Amino acid sequence: MKKNLRWKFIIFLIILLAALWQLSYTFRYSRMTKEELANLEPKQRKTLEDKTIHLGLDLKGGMHLVLEVDKSKLSDEEKKGATERALEIIRNRIDQFGVSEPTIEKQGTDRILIQLPGVVDRNRAKDIIGKTALLEFRLVEAEEVEQNLLTKIDEYLSSIDSSDTSILESNPLLSNIEVIRREFLVRDVFKKTVDDYLKREDVKKLLPRDRTFLWGKAEEIEGRKMFPLHLVHSEPVLTGAAILDADVGVGTQNNPMGAKIDLTMTRKARGKWAAITGANIGKRIAIILDDIVQSAPVVRDRIPSGRSEITLGNTSMDEAKDLAVILKAGALPAPVKIIEERSVGPSLGSDSIRKGVRSIVIGGTIIIVFMLVYYGLSGVIADFALCLNLLFILAVLSAFKFTLTLPGLAGIVLTVGASIDANVLIFERIREELRSGKTVGSAIAAGYQKAFITILDANLTTFITALILYFFGTGPIKGFAVTLGIGILANFFTAIVITRMIFDFGVAYFRLKRISI
């Protein structure tokens, strides 16, 4: 018996030390200031953050979003799996954005739940998540062709109301357009006017079927904000699916400090890109993102390397990095709109932690005092098992990277009660056996044996309930199910194995004739 006890004690000691070692990361992380964390090596910080207990949105603060995928413009074939594709693309974007332990889940048929703990820049996060990011490469028509088409449209618009002979009305379109450096530019104050003309159904009929006008990004020219107007092919020669990688850089042809994104194409797309550029030397190819021309460089030579560049002008580096993340992850299959948004501040999360810990401490203290008063020294063993139970729960949360939420704290509080319940059943059985005249050793063995089935049944049914809640629940329900399930397993181990080992140790080594119970 003593030999078995020694092995049990060694195994228990190994488990205890492993739990304490795992929690040491959380203890160290919680005591470090922001400055100390910033001074750590990136690899050290990542290791520390990975092994610490991850806090949920309600404890750490952050963003809660519910998105709806707009399938109204998709075909029946495209609608199939559109939400799942959007979810994976959003997941890739968030992973590259660097959010720790995000929650990204499908809700219903066309909704996506997103929780981003610790995110404080809400607008930046929403831009990354919701941007469609449809990247296209389209051929640009020559200046002469665009000029002729604009003149044709202008003449048509003038002919509609020939009674007005003013210069402005005789050139309703071209009077708002300037040609600078072989580009057609429109001042910001006239952009809406030109746009309204070009969107007219009768004007659209004047355009060739395979051509369309697109606006470029705003440019600062001679102190004026101006928008380029491009006549491009309707069908792209390449899309964002051809992009393998996107890297942020600094320095463009027109701006040494301007941000840019260097694009690297897939092996399959490189040959096609080489053929496209080779066949269009001297012409322009527009790089278009979400129907806005980012740049339209002239092809100087055949490009066999599959590399191209998006110039971003005065865009900040953060915006350039975000765009690179979006391009790497790919375009969403359909637009998404935010139908629910909530934010939790860090101070509110800290307050939730304090209240949650306070409830555990108060509840635990009352139970500990009760067990000491009612069961004497045996109550000390139960209280020790209770502390171990809490220790093991936190260690497992940390080791398996589960997220601790406010409902999770409620699950821990419930586990505290369940832990003592098992010990009460065992102690009452031992009392009955002692009253029947059995020795201490026999009473302990019989007490554990007779209480085992009851404890197993109670814990098993609760554990099955926790599994159901975890697999079929969402958000807060999952957080509750995680700590409840871990707590039930830890409770069973501490109540059946650890407390029994302590009692057997006392009987074997101290030959106890009576126990305080």
- For the chain, how many residues are written? 517
pLDDT tens for each residue of 71-83: 888 888 778 888 8
Other CB atoms within 10 Å distance of the CB of residue 290: 14
Segment 508-514 mean pLDDT: 81
Segment 375-389 mean pLDDT: 93
Helix (H, G, I), strand (E, B) or coil at 77: helix
* Range of weakest confidence among 63-72, 95-104, 267-276: 95-104
Asked if residues 131 and 80 have their Cβ atoms less than 8 Å apart, the reply is no
Which token pair is 467? 């599994």
Helix (H, G, I), strand (E, B) or coil at 206: coil
Asked if residues 53 and 404 have their Cβ atoms less than 8 Å apart, the reply is yes
Q: How far is CA 309 from the centre of its chain?
A: 28
Helix H or strand E encompassing 407:
helix 406-435
Helix (H, G, I), strand (E, B) or coil at 248: strand
pLDDT tens for each residue of 338-355: 898 887 766 666 777 788
Segment 494-516 mean pLDDT: 88
- 222-236 core/surface letters (b: 16 or more CB in 10 A; e: else): eeeebbbbbbbbeeb
426 closest CA partner among 469, 465, 382 = 382
Which has the higher per-residue pLDDT, 421 or 214? 214
- 258-271 core/surface letters (b: 16 or more CB in 10 A; e: else): bbbbebbbeeebbe
pLDDT tens for each residue of 1-53: 667 888 889 999 999 999 999 999 999 988 888 788 878 887 888 788 888 88
* Euclidean distance between CA atoms 400 and 457, whole angstroms: 26
What's the start-to-end Cα distance of the chain, in Å?
A: 23
pLDDT tens for each residue of 423-466: 999 999 999 999 998 999 999 999 999 999 999 999 999 999 99
Q: How far is CA 77 from the centre of its chain?
A: 28
118 closest CA partner among 55, 196, 62 = 62
Phi-psi region of 313 (alpha: psi -120 to 50; beta: other; left: phi over 0): left
Domain ranges for the chain, please list them.
62-129+332-344, 142-211+223-228, 345-510
Which has the higher per-residue pLDDT, 316 or 298? 298
187 closest CA partner among 146, 148, 222, 145 = 222
- 453-469 core/surface letters (b: 16 or more CB in 10 A; e: else): eebeebbeebbeebeeb
pLDDT tens for each residue of 146-171: 999 999 999 998 887 654 444 445 78
CATH number of 345-510: 1.20.1640.10
Predicted local distance difference test score (pLDDT) of residue 222:
82
pLDDT tens for each residue of 169-190: 578 899 999 998 888 999 999 9
Segment 299-320 mean pLDDT: 79
What is the CATH architecture assignment of 62-129+332-344? 2-Layer Sandwich (3.30)
Segment 487-511 mean pLDDT: 91
Q: What percent of the chain has pLDDT over 70?
A: 94
pTM of the predicted model, to two decimals?
A: 0.61
* Euclidean distance between CA atoms 136 and 134, whole angstroms: 7
Own/partner pairs, 363-366, CB within 8 angstroms, 24+ separation: 363/413, 363/416, 363/417, 364/390, 364/416
Predicted local distance difference test score (pLDDT) of residue 153:
93
Q: pLDDT-based confidence at 333, cuts 50/70/90?
A: confident
Asked if residues 465 and 480 have their Cβ atoms less than 8 Å apart, the reply is no
Asked if residues 516 and 378 have their Cβ atoms less than 8 Å apart, the reply is yes
Listing DSSP states for 274-330 in one string gives HHHHHHTTTSEEEEEETTEEEE--B--S---S-EEEEE-TT--HHHHHHHHHHHHH-
Predicted local distance difference test score (pLDDT) of residue 2:
67
Non-local (6+) Cβ contacts of 242 within 8 A are 137, 265, 266, 268, 269, 272, 273
Segment 320-337 mean pLDDT: 80
Asked if residues 258 and 313 have their Cβ atoms less than 8 Å apart, the reply is yes
Asked if residues 259 and 250 have their Cβ atoms less than 8 Å apart, the reply is yes
Predicted local distance difference test score (pLDDT) of residue 162:
54
Helix (H, G, I), strand (E, B) or coil at 117: strand
Segment 357-378 mean pLDDT: 89
Predicted local distance difference test score (pLDDT) of residue 167:
43
Predicted local distance difference test score (pLDDT) of residue 348:
65
Asked if residues 471 and 398 have their Cβ atoms less than 8 Å apart, the reply is no
Listing DSSP states for 430-467 in one string gives HHHHHHTT--HHHHHHHHHHHHHHHHHHHHHHHHHHHH
DSSP E strands in 323-480: the ranges are 336-344, 403-404
